[in-house]
Structure 1
């Protein structure tokens, strides 16, 4: 795609036997990530080393940069079908306002290099990058950069101290005991004359030791994450990116689903070397014709008709422990899916306590199951917290530990993303100087909803319920199989909606609401198995006591209940309470009350 193409293709060996291994370079702004990528790399790709004009002007990385270098295949990978290891570096911006760009880059890496300024240690964005790494990859190498700035006489001691500090920070993460390598990527600083980097050879050897054979699958639909797009006069438009799945071959027809257009692949290159095909994990440039690059800054390209555009989705979800805020139901978050970040409103839910498998976090979502509504996303289980408490009004789960949780996310605008893709929820509007983690939750898309009218067509199928309860008291007994109750409903309540619902007396009897009684919100309850003798005795004595205390009649023509005795209570007996419990499905258009 360059005028140099012919010369470079003659000089370059075929890449058909090179294993492409993607390493993300992440860390706090100004920790030296770009200098490190430059010191390691031999071939630069689009936007590498801050070629973006704004990056040069501001002195910081504003976009993903890609570069690479090739090394002999490590001994532990010998016997595989490859004879060289091509390491692709994904230089992610460290500035706090560009976190969504970092998330996009982290989804395509096999290993993370967390770059730490040895003079400053762990900083805010370093911690956020660590969180992203825990979510997106299995291995990490910590690079202590700028060791040239340490006093010569104390350098070794200070490096050892920072190494111990980093290992202590990481001991409760998946990266416990990961390698820590000291380097000076650009001795003297970015503005100093070119000087030889220190420690880079040792770092390369460590990266070779940490390299592994990623799972690559050339079968299935092609999915390609585009991070840059530009035109070359006389050739067409070039999209550069990483193959996430499947395979693409020259002359294939591909779709840009966000724009709903298809184009034919004219040619391809991997780091300036022409190739005929690319598979999952490969970093590749794809040239198409008749396409305006201004239409696509970054996004996804796929086999035609294979990538859905979703209006809402159900995800399995976990709260990120470092997020100190509350993840409340109905709150809005910045939601990153695929290569897009959009605003979405979340609704959290989980299996009812009796249906949970203790400790399970991989239960599949199903429209056939019933779920309980949650006011907020619960923190991951702790070893000492395994109790469930309930809200006294709605009886919603508020336990300090939890198993599998899900969320319904409704997007402010449709999102094009692969099925079962990674989802990260953030509060990116948090003050970037507040020294707090803005990443709130992460999960995987379980079910995507493409129907724009999903509120009427899909949500009523979602069996998320709230537990509801009301309490009243027994006013009096009419016979041994019936009582009159009060204080369960307001005077204006339509009691007909509650006829047939079961109630329970505090004395243990179960009854059924038969209907209203009079005009003041009282109601009649039938006790199918009859009242217990001791209940009859209590109500009888209460009735006698009331009859002595007042001669006035209520609206039914019977003796009124004194306002100071708590509903038929004598000095010896507390009032007999009536409990009505039911559940109501959140998305039930008929607002029905359901009892077991």
Structure 2
């Protein structure tokens, strides 16, 4: 059985990705080379395109497979279609970053490079359209742009990445590019979870009269065979696999990484455009999730709590509100306490680990360890990075019931540090003082009884109760106050402060305060 390797072609609009996928491929699919009528009309790629090159396996891979199918995922390059590009990023094993040699790195080239860094997959840079440069000046232009690319990649994980000049239209250096792809394919560590629950991301859904509905996509994990039952989680439906094809050839079984068309019956293709199918229970619907927050360094705006972001998860992009929290432990655990953060602090000297609670505006499909990428897609500037942060799903609220959602939030022990400051009004005795200005008149002072507070002179006491009808409280000490403190309180110029610090958990419905 041939080994399938999914190769994403990413880059700025009009850099020649579709022309490159055409010249590289000897197999096309129903979704290849801008067959969409709107793509033809506008002259740009609007959706993911799929084609393939079937080749013999290189010597180093012959023990593992009898052949390779290089599936090319042609991603759109227009800035308005970044959601689709992120969806394509989900399924690729390797990346070709296509750069127009005459224009160099453009805004969406940069965003595609960032997606490559997030994905941490191997990359080849292609300098396309070298035929557009006069032959006498071509070598100099190639050398100059190769150096520019190398300098751009230096601070990234792609330092030292191979750059290949080609012309997709004139078929220049395409053989050299295919050899480089083979070399990278031999280095790939394809740790594909074939023994995991079946999970399939489909990007096209259409009907064939007399056959059924075809879901074409990529197996993310697990295996599937004809007559197996699958779940369509977004619709809560179960169906059986009637037949399968891999690039127009019938197959009995598909494994992780394969690009296949799955045929099911008794299903209206108009109900879905793209999404997930799976073994029952693998994918859940959720209003909220928690991720380990990884800031994208090229995003120049502040990342603040209670801010809305466009959150792309799989093929979906949903508005969501975030709450940032942190502690000094790298792992997330419901039993641990986390400090609420107003915003991410760059160059944080405390080396805190940031997490984010993501609350979606409408429920989304989520599976374990799924990647989420957050963006600000409403920015009007075209020359800035819109990708803000990313992270893999750590936990999710697997119920969309309101009470269950509240219960999920209450399990998150996220607190805000609170503090109050008052003044010592007078001395009752060596063990007790009266404090003013620590609370407002309307505050329920009984909630603060037995809490510790500290004098600016260093002594620590306990709030023992209210005093009078105003905002005053009594503070008692287990040991007598120092004579210096007593003398200072008795003097008319006393300025001794009383400090009270406590934690307030933001999702505690009883609004308790803890020290």
TM-score computed with the length of structure 2 as normaliser: 0.97
1:415 corresponds in structure 2 to 364
Q: Is residue 2:255 matched to residue 1:279?
A: yes
SS of equivalent residue, structure 2 residue 293: strand
RMSD after superposition: 1.4
1:367 corresponds in structure 2 to 334
1:579 corresponds in structure 2 to 499
Structure 1: gaps spanning 5 or more residues: 1-15, 187-195, 358-362, 380-384, 389-401, 547-567, 570-574
Q: Is residue 2:37 matched to residue 1:53?
A: yes
1:3 corresponds in structure 2 to none
Distance 1:520 1:257 in 2: 59
Distance 2:489 2:194 in 1: 78
Q: Is residue 2:284 matched to residue 1:322?
A: no
2:55 corresponds in structure 1 to 71
Q: 1:267 aligns with which of 224, 228, 243?
A: 243
Cα pair 1:77 1:213 within 8 Å, conserved: no
Deviation at 1:408, TM superposition (A): 0.9
Q: Is residue 2:181 matched to residue 1:207?
A: yes
Deviations 1:89-139 (A, max 9, x none): 000000111111101111100100000011111111001101111112421
Cα pair 2:374 2:387 within 8 Å, conserved: yes
Q: 1:150 aligns with which of 115, 133, 152?
A: 133
Cα pair 1:24 1:113 within 8 Å, conserved: yes
Distance 1:371 1:345 in 2: 18
Deviations 1:492-551 (A, max 9, x none): 3222222221110011111111222233322221122111111112223x1xxx4xxxxx
Q: How does 1:487-506 map to 2 (within 5 A)?
A: 487-506=437-456
Distance 2:412 2:288 in 1: 13
Cα pair 1:250 1:266 within 8 Å, conserved: yes
Distance 1:322 1:442 in 2: 13
Change (3 A) 1:268 1:378: farther
Q: How does 1:332-347 map to 2 (within 5 A)?
A: 332-347=308-323
Distance 1:475 1:517 in 2: 12
SS of equivalent residue, structure 1 residue 50: coil
Q: Answer 1 or 2: which has greater strand percent.
A: 2
Distance 2:81 2:15 in 1: 15
1:297 corresponds in structure 2 to 273
Q: Is residue 2:478 matched to residue 1:528?
A: yes
SS of equivalent residue, structure 1 residue 126: helix
Cα pair 2:96 2:125 within 8 Å, conserved: yes
SS of equivalent residue, structure 1 residue 441: strand
Q: 2:12 aligns with which of 5, 21, 28?
A: 28
Q: 2:282 aligns with which of 306, 311, 317?
A: 306
Q: Is residue 2:344 matched to residue 1:377?
A: yes
Q: 1:590 aligns with which of 492, 510, 515?
A: 510
Deviation at 1:364, TM superposition (A): 2.5
Distance 2:456 2:418 in 1: 18
Larger Rg: 1
TM-score computed with the length of structure 1 as normaliser: 0.84
Q: Is residue 2:83 matched to residue 1:100?
A: yes
Cα pair 1:143 1:182 within 8 Å, conserved: yes
Deviation at 1:293, TM superposition (A): 1.1
Deviation at 1:449, TM superposition (A): 0.5
Distance 2:207 2:261 in 1: 12
Cα pair 1:241 1:283 within 8 Å, conserved: yes
Cα pair 2:129 2:166 within 8 Å, conserved: yes
Distance 1:46 1:100 in 2: 21
Cα pair 1:46 1:228 within 8 Å, conserved: no
1:6 corresponds in structure 2 to none
Q: 1:115 aligns with which of 85, 90, 98?
A: 98
Cα pair 1:110 1:137 within 8 Å, conserved: no
Change (3 A) 1:70 1:213: farther
Cα pair 1:65 1:90 within 8 Å, conserved: yes
Distance 2:145 2:506 in 1: 52
Q: Is residue 2:452 matched to residue 1:508?
A: no
| Runs of 4+ that moved beyond 4 A | none
1:88 corresponds in structure 2 to 71
Distance 1:338 1:101 in 2: 10
Q: How does 1:195-274 map to 2 (within 5 A)?
A: 196-211=170-185, 212-274=188-250
